[in-house]
Chain A
Amino acid sequence: MGEPLLRVSNLQLYYSTLRGLVRSVDLVSFEVGNLETLAIVGESGSGKSSTAHAIIRILPRNVAVLNGSIVFDGVEINKLGEEEFRRRVRVGGISMVFQGAMNSLNPVMRVGDQVAEPLVVNKGMPKPEALKKAVEALRFVGLDESVSRRYPHELSGGMKQRVMIAMSLVLKPRLIILDEPTSALDVITQANIMNLLKRLKTELGFTYIFITHDLGLASELADKVAVMYAGKIVEYGSIEQVYTEPKHPYTRLLIESVPTLRLDREPVFIPGAPPDLIDPPKGCRFHPRCPYAIKGKCDTEEPPMFRDGGQAAACWLLEEGKT
């Protein structure tokens, strides 16, 4: 495949709060190849959204530490100046679709104008032409032309999410980050949006980073998956490998803890709660909840990623092939 489209290495993102330093993203590394979909799966507070925010540099003011390298399309973008970053990344580089589509649209602006806006502002396209492109994009995501003249409050949740997706498409980005694009939607609407994303991927060849807390949903779209826990990637591999043969105890328990409709499997749960990222546990951050924790090892030394073919997991059980 050659050079990946995006390579993130040792990304660190800490926030400063009154209580102390929150280690939201701690030495995270991954790659996304061209035309590939990477799912980042984790619970709330695991750092999956923060990772995305760091990539496209939409960060709150209380960032204390931002380290690591982000190479996009062969360029180190973490060191770029604001203007350079805007031209190279935000315009036609990386787009993002946010979770709460309901809150991401401007309520007093017609939908068509909003979708056209990036073209006018960033590309200096004349407005009528931009509007034409916007209508095209809306049609592409399954919305009627008349939608472009409506206001967001006239649309349903699913339609708004389609508008958001259309908006992310108009600049023809190389990479689209989808941050829980269907979490706020009902099941049927969710399935419709997932179908749309699948269609865009297979027909137009998009590269996605798909952020979700739902491994089942991830398995519908992703080629590769990175499982995050408490600011770290604990497992990484192809979706087939990770889903059918999870190597990290957390991944396995996470899969088993989600009740399934079609399989009959008494659901289990992971005792305890994710740790406080101000003072995360020593060693492996999952050890206090892990049924296989090795005393004197997991609670003192941080496990590195142990590789096995294309799959890797940060767990001491995998050292010297122990399972």
Chain B
Amino acid sequence: MSEKPLVLTENLEVYFPVRKLFGTAGFVRAVDNVDLEIFRGETLALVGESGSGKTTLGKALIALVKPTGGKIYFDGQDVTSMSETELKTLRRRFGVIFQDPYSSINPGYTVYRAVEEPLVVNKIGSKSERKERVFKALRDVKLDPPELFAYKYPHMLSGGQRQRVAIARALISNPEFIVADEPVTMLDASIRVELLLLLREIQQKYGSTMLYITHDMATAKYFSDRIAVMYAGKLVELGPTRKVLSNPSHPYTKALVEAIPDPDPRNRLVVRKVISGEPPSLVSPPAGCRFHPRCPAFMPGVCDYREPKMYKVNGGVRAACFLYGGMQA
């Protein structure tokens, strides 16, 4: 891991307008004021509940949605001020794997065509060079021998094999930065780990940087170096994965970790301590800290009044909570 981050965001905002019959009724603040850095060669896990903005943040980082405010720097370049042509060139350095391998691959394309597509679109290589690269990518994702799989259609493959095709397609252009958005959520338990190990192997082989978006804290533990936790469009905690998960700082992270079932029959039927309520509306989020209405450590007059910044906790962990600073300001 080098010192300079490959991806850096400053006050990143992605708002979606809510349209009424005439004009705009407000904004969904999907990503709000996020400062994040991802270092070269690392895997950053981005976790949060559905609707917390993790997918939107991931898409913004690879220029698939336009931020409405703030800055994104990729390899030192300001992505937010780029023209569409510059963005197109830049996107070659990105790879993306989506959640659902049943809808992310064109059913009318053969595996070969699906995997070759990024090279064709970006006019990379001659026909024979492309073939070599497609076969190599298929071998990388263990669809071996490639001749056997290259001319099949998606419906002839299992879910796990389809996701391998999606991975091969994401990797074919040797991307420096890969966004994997819930890549194994739709797959069966017995093959999830296999695919995550495969992703890790490929990432290490090619030294790429990865953002692993997931709601599964347990897989994040084994397959990421650092972890970022989002709640209602905000980053609430960021730090080395094992530190954050074994000793969470933010009350939300704590609640999230505690809610995960213990695979231990001795704790059977024990009623777990769980916070109640639901994540807030992103159109009119609560004032102050967005977690305060559900927070067990809520401090009246502080949390419902001012918004916490990311404060340093220790060991490289930062948390957006007044328990860790900002009380005097």
Asked if A259 meets B268 with Cβ closer than 8 Å, knowing A191-B259, A273-B160, the reply is no
Q: Is the CB of A259 within 8 A of B219?
A: yes
Q: Is the CB of A156 within 8 A of B158?
A: no
Quick one: which of A216, A222, A257 contacts B192, CB cutoff 8 A?
A: A257
Q: Is the CB of A189 within 8 A of B278?
A: yes
Alpha-carbon distance between A273 and B218 when the two chains are bound, in angstroms: 22
Q: Is the CB of A191 within 8 A of B272?
A: yes
How far, in Å, is A7 (CB) from chain B's closest CB?
24
Asked if A261 meets B189 with Cβ closer than 8 Å, knowing A187-B256, A188-B274, A221-B268, the reply is no
Alpha-carbon distance between A215 and B276 when the two chains are bound, in angstroms: 25
One digit per residue, 1 when the CB lies within 8 angstroms of any chain A CB and 0 when it does not, for chain B 236-274 equals: 000000000100000000011111111111111111101
Q: Is the CB of B272 within 8 A of A244?
A: no
Interface stretch (choices A110-118, A126-134, A262-270): A262-270
Measured CB to CB, the nearest residue on chain A to B186 is A44
Asked if A192 meets B222 with Cβ closer than 8 Å, knowing A198-B269, A217-B261, A273-B158, the reply is no
Alpha-carbon distance between A305 and B263 when the two chains are bound, in angstroms: 25
Q: Is the CB of A192 within 8 A of B263?
A: no
Asked if A243 meets B265 with Cβ closer than 8 Å, knowing A214-B189, A258-B189, A266-B222, the reply is yes
Q: Does A321 count as interface, using CB distance less than 8 angstroms?
A: no
Q: Does A3 count as interface, using CB distance less than 8 angstroms?
A: no
Q: Is the CB of B260 within 8 A of A261?
A: yes
Q: Does B45 count as interface, using CB distance less than 8 angstroms?
A: no
Quick one: which of B158, B257, B263 contacts A258, CB cutoff 8 A?
A: B263
Contacts of A192 in B (CB 8 A): 274, 276
Q: Is the CB of A269 within 8 A of B259?
A: no
Quick one: which of A44, A188, A240, A259 contacts B221, CB cutoff 8 A?
A: A259
Q: Is the CB of A257 within 8 A of B278?
A: no
Total inter-chain residue pairs, C-beta < 8 Å? 125
Q: Does B190 count as interface, using CB distance less than 8 angstroms?
A: yes
Within 43-70 of B, Cβ neighbours of A (below 8 Å) are at 49-50
Contacts of A9 in B (CB 8 A): none
Q: Is the CB of B245 within 8 A of A261?
A: yes
Within 189-233 of A, Cβ neighbours of B (below 8 Å) are at 189-192, 194-195, 198-199, 201-202, 213-217, 219-222
Contacts of B260 in A (CB 8 A): 187, 191, 261
How far, in Å, is B189 (CB) from chain A's closest CB?
6
Q: Is the CB of B275 within 8 A of A188?
A: yes
Within 154-176 of A, Cβ neighbours of B (below 8 Å) are at 156, 158-159
Quick one: which of B192, B221, B272 contacts A195, CB cutoff 8 A?
A: B272
Contacts of A213 in B (CB 8 A): 188-189
Contacts of A94 in B (CB 8 A): none
Q: Does A254 count as interface, using CB distance less than 8 angstroms?
A: yes
Contacts of B275 in A (CB 8 A): 188
Asked if A274 meets B271 with Cβ closer than 8 Å, knowing A186-B215, A219-B263, A259-B218, the reply is no
Contacts of A21 in B (CB 8 A): none
Measured CB to CB, the nearest residue on chain A to B190 is A270
Q: Does A2 count as interface, using CB distance less than 8 angstroms?
A: no
Q: Is the CB of B188 within 8 A of A44?
A: yes
Contacts of B219 in A (CB 8 A): 259
Q: Does B31 count as interface, using CB distance less than 8 angstroms?
A: no
Interface residues in B, total, Cβ within 8 A? 44
Q: Is the CB of A216 within 8 A of B262?
A: yes
Alpha-carbon distance between A81 and B269 when the two chains are bound, in angstroms: 38
Alpha-carbon distance between A44 and B49 when the two chains are bound, in angstroms: 23
Alpha-carbon distance between A129 and B119 when the two chains are bound, in angstroms: 67
Contacts of A243 in B (CB 8 A): 263-265
Q: Is the CB of A221 within 8 A of B269?
A: yes
Q: Does A260 count as interface, using CB distance less than 8 angstroms?
A: yes
Q: Is the CB of B259 within 8 A of A188?
A: yes
Q: Is the CB of B188 within 8 A of A43?
A: yes
Quick one: which of B194, B218, B258, B271 contacts A198, CB cutoff 8 A?
A: B271
Contacts of A44 in B (CB 8 A): 188
Q: Does A178 count as interface, using CB distance less than 8 angstroms?
A: no
Contacts of A158 in B (CB 8 A): 278
Contacts of B161 in A (CB 8 A): 273
Asked if A186 meets B49 with Cβ closer than 8 Å, knowing A259-B193, A259-B218, A262-B262, the reply is yes
Measured CB to CB, the nearest residue on chain A to B260 is A261
Q: Does B6 count as interface, using CB distance less than 8 angstroms?
A: no
Q: Is the CB of B194 within 8 A of A271?
A: yes
Measured CB to CB, the nearest residue on chain A to B278 is A156
Within 160-190 of B, Cβ neighbours of A (below 8 Å) are at 160-161, 188-190
Alpha-carbon distance between A214 and B49 when the two chains are bound, in angstroms: 19
How far, in Å, is B269 (CB) from chain A's closest CB?
5
Q: Is the CB of A254 within 8 A of B263?
A: no
Contacts of A43 in B (CB 8 A): 188-190
Q: Does A255 count as interface, using CB distance less than 8 angstroms?
A: yes
Interface centre among B194, B217, B219, B266, by most chain A C-beta atoms within 10 angstroms, is B194
How far, in Å, is B211 (CB) from chain A's closest CB?
19
Alpha-carbon distance between A254 and B191 when the two chains are bound, in angstroms: 10
Chain A to chain B contacts (Cβ below 8 Å), 25 pairs: A158-B278, A188-B274, A190-B259, A191-B259, A191-B260, A192-B274, A194-B272, A195-B271, A198-B269, A198-B270, A198-B271, A201-B269, A216-B261, A216-B262, A219-B264, A219-B268, A258-B189, A261-B221, A266-B222, A267-B193, A267-B196, A269-B192, A270-B190, A270-B191, A273-B160
Closest 9 A-B residue pairs measured CB to CB? A216-B263, A269-B194, A191-B259, A186-B49, A43-B188, A269-B193, A259-B218, A270-B190, A191-B274
Given contacts A194-B261, A202-B269, A240-B265, 15 further A-B contacts (CB under 8 A): A187-B217, A188-B256, A190-B259, A191-B260, A191-B272, A195-B272, A198-B269, A219-B267, A219-B268, A243-B264, A243-B265, A255-B263, A257-B192, A259-B218, A269-B190
